[in-house]
Structures are given as C-alpha cells and as structure tokens.
C-alpha cells in the first residue's frame, strides 16, 4: 500500500510542477482578473492534494506533518501567486494555507472517523486510504484539465 | 435522526433549478462580479446541503457522502458558471469542491440535531432568494 501512496504523491507533484511551467511560460498574457483566478485555483487545489497525501503517508506523527503541510501550502501559494502582482500573491498565499489546513483535517478524519463523532464506517481503513489517494489524483487531473482549457476559451 | 429530512433534497434541487431557469433568461444583463458571487453562493450552498443531509441519513457511509457531495458541488458550480464566463466556471468549481469536502465533517460534528439542520436549510434557501432578487434588480 505504501508504494501506491508514494507513487500517487509523486505524480501529483509532477502535474503541479508541469502546470507551474505552463503558466509561467505564458504569464505575460494574463489580465488582472485571470491572474487572480488562476492563482486561487491552482494553489488551493495543489495545497489540498499535497497535504492530504502527506498526512495519509505519515499518519502517526501528526504535529510535525501538520506544521510542514502549512509551510508547504504557503510555499505553493507564493510560487503560483508571484507571477503577476500583489493581488494574486495575497490570494495565493491565503488560499494555499487554508486548503493545507483543510487537507490535514480530511486526512485525520479518514484515518480515525471517531474524531467527528461518527460511529464508524462500513469500509475498512485500507479501503478508505486507497480511495482518498485515488480521489486526490482525480481532483488534480480534472482541475489541471479545466485550467488548461481556459487558454482556449 | 428521523427519516423525514429526506424532504430537504427535492426542496434544494428544485429551488436550484428554479434559480437556474431564472438566471438563464437574464444572463446577458449580469456583469462578471455579480455573476461570480451568484455562482459561489449557488455551488457552495448546494454542496453544503447535500453533504450534511447525506451524512445524517447514513452515518456509516463517510466515503460515499464525500464523493456524492463533491460531485454535486463541482457539477453545479460548472453549470452555474457556464452561464457567464470561463473564469466564473473555475471559481464555481473550486468553491463547490471545497464546500463538498467540508460538508460531511460539519454534518458529523452536528450529529442528532434537527434544529441545526432546519436552520441551515433556511439559510441556504434565503441566500438563493437574495441571489435571485439581486439579479432581478439590475
């Protein structure tokens, strides 16, 4: 199970790096509003997916991974937001941090549903982990396709 | 949890459908700022209602609740955003996805509380009404 999680994390970061390269190459074409939307969209998606994968990969050391997730989300938001101006920078940093916190919360609830007061789940813990890893890959793929189509429309 | 809260599903979807038909006739007169806010209200409210009601009906199925509410939120964000602009579509999709991930956890934390559910329904329906009236005034 570890090898699937590691490979999915690697694929997600690779898609994010490729999206960063594509956006960076054509950043002179951005209007003010599209810079805000693209920064918000890309940083919140990649922050959510990366923090969810990391908390599923190391579920035992919650505090250290939580702190590193927030720092990683802020870094991702800074990288995506520093393309155009100060507005997109603020939007990227704030939404990257918020989505990293939300991804950490989702990962903890997936590992232990009794946190929220749920009585338990029908699916076992391994099935939940595999499902949410594949779900993060799905979210990242759909979001990247939607953001790349915006250059055509 | 009583079984009659299933009645909130047709109320939500019917009011969203009425809002969509109402906005479809006036989509040329709405600017992009108002369109973006209307899309975020519609997608987030629909995903929130769906997730909270599903996790209260079937508390053992956390996985299916997350999947269902994320799909409903993303599709409604894409449909409402497609009326106006492509960047509105992106904003609606990401709002529906975030709300859909968060909604089953909110519903599980407020387990066995009927008054909270009714208050959330009133909030969602009144925000739909405010969105419709703001489109009517312009």
In terms of CA atoms, which chain A residue is nearest residue B70? A139
Q: Is the Cβ–Cβ distance between B70 and B18 less than 8 Å?
A: no
- Is residue B76 one of the residues assigned to a domain? yes
Asked if the structure places residue B6 within a domain, the reply is: no
HSE value, Cβ hemisphere, 13 Å, CA-based, for A152: 5
Average pLDDT over residues B43-63: 90
Chain A contacts of B66, Cβ < 8 Å? 135
Domain count of chain B?
1
Secondary structure tally for chain A: helices H, strands E: 5, 0
Residue B93 lies in a domain: yes
Q: Is residue B7 part of a domain?
A: no
Q: Could you tell me which of A109, A106, A107, A103 has the C-alpha nearest to residue A47?
A: A103
- The whole-number average pLDDT for the span B15-39 is 89
- Identity of the residue in B62, B91, B101 whose CB atom sits nearest the CB atom of A118: B62
Within a domain: B61:
yes
Task: Give the domain range for residue B95.
Answer: 12-137
pLDDT bin (cut points 50, 70, 90) of residue A152 is confident
Q: What is the ipTM of this complex?
A: 0.90
* Residue whose structure tokens are 């409402």: B80
Residue of B94, B96, B103, B116 to mutate, interface with A, max A Cβ within 10 Å: B94
pLDDT score for B113? 78
**Per-position b or e across A86-103, b if 16+ CB within 10 A of its CB:** eebbebbbbbbbbbbbbb
Give B62-119 pLDDT, tens digit per residue: 888 999 999 999 999 999 999 988 889 999 999 999 999 999 888 888 777 788 889 9
CB–CB of B59 and A128 under 8 A?
A: no
A117 shares contact with chain B (CB less than 8 Å) = yes
The verdict on residue B110 lying in a domain is yes
Indicate if the pLDDT at residue B1 is higher than 70.
Answer: no
Q: Does B82 reside within a domain?
A: yes
Which of B89, B90, B109 faces A117 most closely, judged by CB atoms? B109
CA A153, CA A137: separation in Å to the nearest integer? Answer: 25
Residue B2 lies in a domain: no
């Amino acid at each position: 199970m570890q090898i699937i999680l590691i490979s999915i994390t690697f694929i997600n970061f690779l898609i994010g790096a490729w999206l960063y390269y594509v956006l960076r190459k054509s950043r002179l074409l951005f209007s003010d509003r599209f810079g805000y939307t693209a920064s918000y969209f890309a940083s919140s998606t990649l922050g959510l997916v990366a923090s969810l994968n990391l908390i599923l990969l190391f579920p035992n050391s919650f505090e250290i991974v939580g702190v590193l997730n927030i720092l990683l989300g802020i870094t991702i938001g800074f990288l995506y937001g520093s393309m155009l101006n100060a507005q997109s920078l603020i939007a990227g940093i704030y939404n990257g941090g918020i989505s990293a916190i939300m991804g950490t919360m989702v990962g903890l609830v997936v590992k232990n549903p009794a946190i929220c007061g749920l009585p338990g789940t029908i699916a076992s813990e391994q099935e939940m982990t595999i499902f949410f890893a594949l779900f993060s890959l799905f979210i990242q793929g759909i979001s990247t396709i939607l953001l790349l189509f915006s250059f055509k429309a | 949890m009583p079984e009659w809260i299933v009645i909130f599903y047709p109320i939500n979807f019917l009011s969203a459908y009425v809002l969509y038909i109402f906005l479809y006739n006036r989509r040329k007169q709405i600017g992009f700022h108002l369109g973006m806010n209307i899309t975020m209200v519609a997608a987030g409210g629909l995903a929130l209602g769906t997730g909270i009601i599903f996790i209260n009906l079937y508390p053992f199925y956390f996985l299916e609740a997350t999947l269902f509410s994320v799909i409903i939120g993303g599709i409604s964000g894409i449909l409402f955003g497609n009326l106006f602009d492509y960047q509105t579509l992106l904003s609606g999709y990401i709002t529906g996805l975030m709300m859909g991930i968060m909604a089953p956890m909110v519903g599980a934390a407020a387990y066995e509380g009927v008054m909270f559910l009714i208050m959330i329904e009133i909030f969602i329906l009144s925000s739909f009404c405010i969105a419709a009236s703001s489109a009517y005034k312009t």
